[in-house]
Amino acid sequence: MILNVVVETLPGKAQCVADVIGEIKGMALRLVEGDHRVLATWDVPDGHNPEPEGLSEALRAMTPEVVDVGLGD
């Protein structure tokens, strides 16, 4: 399953967060939008239930500049 991911960051931190996202297996950076939003796609591993809360917690653990994470089709 491929999902679109929208990551809201602290102002001025989008590129920093995009660099982290680019290192995560299954995540593909699509666009850094302004200075506070990153758009990516996530190839969800088989058997995993994608939840924005879980992904948000994981990203925040990797980089505290993440404010919010949204998932869509």
Question: Domain containing 9 — which CATH number?
Answer: 3.30.70
Indicate the residue type of 4. N
- Tell me which H or E stretch contains 71: strand 66-72
Q: What angle do CA 56, 58, 59 make, to 5 degrees?
A: 65
Number of domains in the chain: 1
pTM of this prediction? Answer: 0.87
Instruction: Give CA–CA dist 72/56, Å, rounded.
Output: 14
What's the domain range around 22? 2-72
List pLDDT tens digits, range 2-44.
999 999 999 999 999 999 999 988 899 999 999 999 999 999 8
Instruction: Give CA–CA dist 14/22, Å, rounded.
Output: 12
